[in-house]
Chains A and B, each alone.
Chain A
Amino acid sequence: MSPHHLNPSSLKSRFTTRFLRALTNINAQNPISSSSPREILQRYRRIKVAADKSMAYSVRSRRTWSRAMRWKLRSRSWRQASSVRRLKITTTCHQAIMKKTAHERESKTTTGEEVGFGVQTDGLRELVPGGEAMDICNLLDETAHYIKCLTTQVQREQIAS
């Protein structure tokens, strides 16, 4: 009937199970008693994080963007949960990584210029998580996979609502 869920290990089913689990957890933790905007916002944030997280973990870090997203989520949770020291560590690590990737990007854009893409790929790099460090070839690859996963996410969320 549904080709998607026939394969129990497909991306869609993995994402679905994780996401649903996360949603039920969130709902269990915070039952909607009031509809104050703040609470709704909190829930929204949590759900968004849950969606991103479940997607990123479903992809199992085979892809650069999922790794970058996981890293972002993890650092964000550290930032929220813990001390200033951890925050400093993460930010310094992140800065080091960003510098490195900036260097890489410089060296790569010089070779990428010839293809005629130079300027617009920056927009794409911002969008795709982890896109700063990749050359155009890989960036396009990651974008394709990312688009696929985003469509999956949207479909599932739509159903869940």
Chain B
Amino acid sequence: MAMSSISMYNKPSNASDPFFGSSWDPIVSLSQSESLVGSSMVSHSEFANSHYPLLMENQGITSTAHFSQYQSDPSFVELVPKLPGFGSGNWSEMVGPFSLPQCGQIANGKCPQNYALNTEVGNERACTNSTQSRDEHQLSDEGVVGASPNGKRRKRVPESNSPLRSYQNADEEPQKDPSGESSDVPKGQDEKIQKTEQITGVNSRGKQIAKQAKDSSQTGEAPKENYIHVRARRGQATNSHSLAERVRREKISERMRLLQELVPGCNKITGKAVMLDEIINYVQSLQQQVEFLSMKLATVNPELNIDLERVLSKDILHSRGGSAGILGFGPGLNSSHPFPPRIFPGTISGVPSTNPQFPPLPQTVLDNELQNLFQMGYDSSSAMDSLGPNAGRLKSEL
């Protein structure tokens, strides 16, 4: 049946089968009622729907090596010999016998690019159908806008089982298609684009469903994903703007999570604002540490016979104390300053072990600098006025 032949494209998950089962029946019936090969278009929508089984079997032909069960559908079987030697690059032969109209004006502004992408994408599809890398999607990024309508078309079948999906799709995307009239422009190209995009939709959906298997939401219908191809989530707005926003938001939150791991002591913090504050504080303190250490190096080091081995050995020692050890001196030297404990939880313990050199340092100069450094950090701008000329010079160097 069509279901099984289509289900093979979604190997990792079987939950999509009912989806296909429900949606593809009208298509299959339509395709069986017509003769696909060499047919002129009977009706706009029907033919649009008949794209899918056609593409499916093309896909199957190109990737029979990957899929075991293929010939279960008699209608497909009889169609197979009629498309001989269908390779990934033979889109033109595919398109030839069919006078395909533009059922959805899909990505018309991107025709030339997709044209170039066609063979590439098709080739890749042929090679690795089951494992789609993200690069492919990026390759067919130009086809995103075009592919997503197809995807949306397919996905919303259970929601709206109308055979006029293509029309629906066209209605839904006025913004993606500012130039509807350019559909008259090379139809051959558009057809190829369509096929590419539909294949893209197929494969990306396959991958989505693989991803869905990991996700918790498995209704078998509107899949959720956060690829470059963004599908509308179930129950959410399908506006292209909101989709893009959602992708953006997810990217940003992912990066925030990474930062959270980098900044020590931020595991409990939830909320972007507080997190951002923490990050800013941490970066400031790191910069101050660098300054502080370079000041220390400036004063201390006439005996700089350091080579890598010594650094290596010390590295092991110091990696325990961590970079926060230096600032453990903060409370010692500047007890007046409130030391933010949340940023350097381990500092106080690190004080005695890591810096034995500190006491003999000339205190006068260092005291000023240290005070200024700490003041700069912890009292942000208010302390700047009270700083001496040294600090002023320091700050100007920054």
Chain A interface residues (CB < 8 Å from chain B)? 1-2, 4-5, 13, 16-17, 20, 23-24, 27, 31-32, 35, 37, 40-41, 43-48, 51-52, 114-117, 120-121, 123-124, 127-128, 136-137, 140-141, 143-144, 146-148, 150-151, 153-161
> For residue A46, which residues in chain B have a CB less than 8 angstroms away from its CB?
298
Residue on A nearest B251 in the bound complex, by CB = A137
The segment from B92-100, B163-171, B232-240, B277-285 that touches chain A is: B277-285
Given A155-B319, A158-B325 in contact, is the A115-B286 Cβ separation under 8 Å? no
A105 nearest CB across to chain B (Å): 16
B365 touches A20 (CB 8 A): no
Q: Does B134 contact A (CB under 8 A)?
A: no
A140 touches B318 (CB 8 A): no
B302 touches A32 (CB 8 A): yes
B252 nearest CB across to chain A (Å): 6
A44 touches B294 (CB 8 A): yes
Q: A2-B312, A150-B283, A155-B315 are in contact. List 17 more A-B contacts (CB 8 A).
A: A24-B304, A31-B302, A41-B298, A43-B298, A44-B295, A47-B294, A48-B291, A115-B248, A116-B272, A127-B280, A127-B287, A137-B251, A144-B258, A147-B262, A155-B323, A156-B311, A158-B318
The answer, among B276, B302, B357, for a CB contact under 8 Å with A161, is B357
> For residue A143, which residues in chain B have a CB less than 8 angstroms away from its CB?
259, 279, 283
Shortest 4 CB-CB contacts between residues of A and residues of B: A157-B293, A44-B298, A140-B255, A43-B298
Q: Does B42 contact A (CB under 8 A)?
A: no
A145 nearest CB across to chain B (Å): 10
B287 touches A150 (CB 8 A): yes
The answer, among B280, B293, B301, B362, for a CB contact under 8 Å with A124, is B280
B371 nearest CB across to chain A (Å): 14
> For residue A155, which residues in chain B have a CB less than 8 angstroms away from its CB?
315, 318-319, 323
Looking at B255, B308, B354, the one whose CB has the most chain A CB atoms below 10 A away is: B255
Given A1-B316, A117-B272 in contact, is the A161-B301 Cβ separation under 8 Å? yes
B274 nearest CB across to chain A (Å): 10
B366 nearest CB across to chain A (Å): 9
A4 nearest CB across to chain B (Å): 6
Chain B interface residues (CB < 8 Å from chain A)? 245, 248-249, 251-252, 255-256, 258-259, 262-263, 272-273, 276-277, 279-280, 282-284, 286-287, 289-291, 293-302, 304, 306-308, 311-312, 314-316, 318-319, 323, 325-326, 354, 357, 362, 364-365, 369, 390, 393-394, 397
Q: Main SS of chain B's interface residues?
A: helix
> For residue B314, which residues in chain A have a CB less than 8 angstroms away from its CB?
159
B206 nearest CB across to chain A (Å): 28
Instruction: Tell me the bound Cα distance from A46 to B307 in angstroms.
Output: 20
A-B residue pairs in contact (CB < 8 Å), sample of 6: A2-B315, A2-B316, A23-B297, A37-B390, A158-B325, A161-B296
Given A115-B249, A144-B259, A155-B315 in contact, is the A27-B301 Cβ separation under 8 Å? yes
> For residue B284, which residues in chain A have a CB less than 8 angstroms away from its CB?
127
> For residue B301, which residues in chain A have a CB less than 8 angstroms away from its CB?
23, 27, 32, 160-161
B354 touches A158 (CB 8 A): yes
The answer, among B256, B296, B302, B306, for a CB contact under 8 Å with A140, is B256
The answer, among B304, B316, B326, B397, for a CB contact under 8 Å with A48, is B397
Residue on B nearest A141 in the bound complex, by CB = B255
Residue on A nearest B316 in the bound complex, by CB = A2
Looking at A24, A51, A150, the one whose CB has the most chain B CB atoms below 10 A away is: A150
A161 touches B297 (CB 8 A): yes
A153 touches B290 (CB 8 A): yes
Instruction: Tell me the bound Cα distance from A17 to B311 in angstroms.
Output: 10
B326 touches A158 (CB 8 A): yes
The answer, among B286, B296, B308, B311, for a CB contact under 8 Å with A147, is B286
Instruction: Tell me the bound Cα distance from A2 to B311 in angstroms.
Output: 10
Instruction: Tell me the bound Cα distance from A154 to B308 in angstroms.
Output: 16
A41 touches B390 (CB 8 A): yes
